[in-house]
Amino acid sequence: MDAAAADDDKKRRDKELDALRRKPALQPIPATEIGSFRLTPWQVLHTLGRSIALARRGAGRGLAEHWGSLKYSQALIGEPSAYMGLSAEGRETADYYKALQSSELGTGLALSVATQVLGRRYPHHFVSIIPADTALRAGWALTSRDKGHRSGYRYRPRFFAEVWRPGEPSRVFPIESKGNHSNAAASHDQLASASAHVEAVHVGAWNETPSLLFSTELPLEGPLTVHGLQALGKDGWLSDSAGSGNRDLDQQVEELNIYPGILPPSEEPEPGFHVQPQHYAWFRHVLARTFAAGLTAFAGDGDATVQYLTKRQGQRHFTGFAHAATGSVQDARQELLGVPFVGTDHVFRLNRTRVEAFSGVAEDLFTHLEAGRVQQYRDEVYARRDAWPHASWNSHWGGPVSVHPDGSVLAMRKLREHDRQA
């Protein structure tokens, strides 16, 4: 990766461009922090769907973004004793949509590994994954459409992982994930690029923000490989400090206009985004409510989602008109693996077969989110973090099921004949 970064810097110098500032002192993630764990294709789709629920891409206006993960329903294949890889359909799709498929499947796989790593590193904490662009927009203008002091810097991580437990400071890890259908050399190039993205956000002291970088290699033949690097650091802690104040997570977040730039010791600001001590409590507030917004969007409830976002974060994408086939309404209930869930459903075709998908949140937890009770949701979901069912198939439902510790669920099944007739 170092060689790939040096080669990229040389190309930039030849074009009279400045070299990128990259995360220093990167190292491999120890295998002991990953361990051995099993992952089903629908768990990957669930992770991907949760990650893009607030994506604001296309005409879906936010509410139906997560259904985009279902286009990969048959892209991955594996056996209980085998490594996961691309199916025949996944290989065929890769011929036409290489960049999109490798990026999105890479996201689902990388975030699964990141959650595993951080969960083992912090066994008594909860790990929340939050889209970085949405969180940053609460305090910074990222594009020309955003009001405020625009940074003009296009490098930033895709996600934040917040590692937290009630009543204690949380810790933030910027995460960048990429993917390719090529080989390890392509992953080295992607990791070199990712090192510039995670370096764009500092939480606390200069160059002390821990970060995770991933590039997922999805070859047309053989098992997929997730290449992972980490930057260790002593900071990233969102602790209460002088002037930060205590925060009621049930209250709305105020939108700030923080001047962009990272402040190194005794030097001119570097481009990027710097969360400093006076904003720790505010940023922890932003992360908690942005995470809640992702859950309510995943359950198809636009009204519940709006309350958690600022204007710049995309309130309007969850209100008003939606184009045909892109809407998502929270009006479905299912009991899966003995847990009552509320959410939204979707019917689509896999070749000639009609398939029903359901996404939602445990009913009792959703009641808190719908009413704006973020603190109570966090207290209860933390207490239940190890109590969720681990089965990946529900016989009564008739299909695969994925339940996350955040209380969300993704389930699929063939559409039953009596449902079709109804």
pLDDT tens digits, one per residue of 29-38: 998 888 888 9
Q: Where are the alpha helices (DSSP H) in 255-389?
A: 280-298, 302-306, 363-370, 374-383
Confidence check: pLDDT of 266 > 90: no
Q: Are 322 and 382 in contact (CB under 8 A)?
A: no
Q: Is 350 helix (H, G, I), strand (E, B) or coil?
A: strand
Q: Where are the alpha helices (DSSP H) in 141-207?
A: 184-198
CA 364 vs CA 201, 361, 368: distances in Å: 35, 8, 7
Q: 333-361 pLDDT, tens per residue? A: 999 999 999 999 999 998 889 999 999 99
Confidence check: pLDDT of 60 > 80: no
Q: Are 299 and 67 in contact (CB under 8 A)?
A: no
Angle among Cα 214, 220, 223 to the nearest 5 degrees reads 60
In which band, very low, low, confident or very high, does the pLDDT at 240 lie, cut at 50, 70 and 90? confident
Angle among Cα 350, 406, 273 to the nearest 5 degrees reads 100
CA 270 vs CA 151, 261, 351, 352, 377: distances in Å: 11, 5, 51, 54, 38
Lowest mean pLDDT among 103-107, 187-191, 236-240, 393-397: 236-240
Higher pLDDT, 93 or 219: 219
What average pLDDT does this structure show over 203-230?
96
> E strands of 146-303, at which residues?
159-164, 170-180, 201-203, 211-217, 225-231, 237-238, 273-275
pLDDT for 416: 77
In which band, very low, low, confident or very high, does the pLDDT at 125 lie, cut at 50, 70 and 90? very high
What average pLDDT does this structure show over 53-60?
66
What average pLDDT does this structure show over 314-340?
78
Confidence check: pLDDT of 251 > 90: yes
Cα separation of 73 and 40, whole Å? 11
Confidence check: pLDDT of 319 > 80: no
Confidence check: pLDDT of 175 > 90: yes
Cα separation of 257 and 169, whole Å? 24
Q: Is the dihedral angle over the CA atoms 207, 186, 5, 32 positive or is it negative?
A: positive
Q: What are phi and psi of 413, to 5 degrees?
A: -165, 160
Long-range contacts of 116-121 (CB under 8 A, 24+ apart): 116/34, 116/35, 116/37, 117/29, 117/33, 117/34, 117/212, 117/228, 118/161, 118/163, 118/173, 120/33, 120/34, 120/35, 121/33
pLDDT for 325: 52
pLDDT for 421: 53
**Kind of pairing between the strands at 353-362 and 339-350:** antiparallel
pLDDT for 83: 92
Angle among Cα 176, 180, 186 to the nearest 5 degrees reads 90
Higher pLDDT, 53 or 36: 53
CA 59 vs CA 56, 65, 125, 321, 351: distances in Å: 8, 9, 37, 10, 24
Mean pLDDT in the chain?
A: 91
What average pLDDT does this structure show over 379-408?
97
Cα separation of 146 and 102, whole Å? 29
Name the amino acid, one letter, at 148.
G
Nearest CA-CA partner of 41 in 82, 73, 89: 73
**Predicted structure pTM score:** 0.94
Q: 132-159 pLDDT, tens per residue? A: 999 999 999 997 778 777 777 899 999 9
Cα separation of 293 and 369, whole Å? 9
Cα separation of 87 and 171, whole Å? 38
Confidence check: pLDDT of 275 > 50: yes
Confidence check: pLDDT of 172 > 70: yes
Q: Are 50 and 298 in contact (CB under 8 A)?
A: yes
Here the tokens at position 79 are 């056996």
* Number of C-beta neighbours around residue 263 at 10 A: 14
* Number of C-beta neighbours around residue 200 at 10 A: 26
Cα separation of 134 and 9, whole Å? 30
Here the tokens at position 26 are 């990167």
pLDDT for 417: 66
pLDDT for 321: 55
Higher pLDDT, 269 or 174: 174
Here the tokens at position 259 are 């001047």
* Number of C-beta neighbours around residue 166 at 10 A: 11
In which band, very low, low, confident or very high, does the pLDDT at 246 lie, cut at 50, 70 and 90? confident
Longest dimension (CA), the chain: 71
Nearest CA-CA partner of 299 in 264, 355, 348, 342: 342
pLDDT for 59: 44
Contacts of 243 (CB under 8 A, 6+ apart): 277, 278
Q: Are 211 and 172 in contact (CB under 8 A)?
A: no
Cα separation of 178 and 194, whole Å? 8
pLDDT for 56: 67
What average pLDDT does this structure show over 88-104?
90
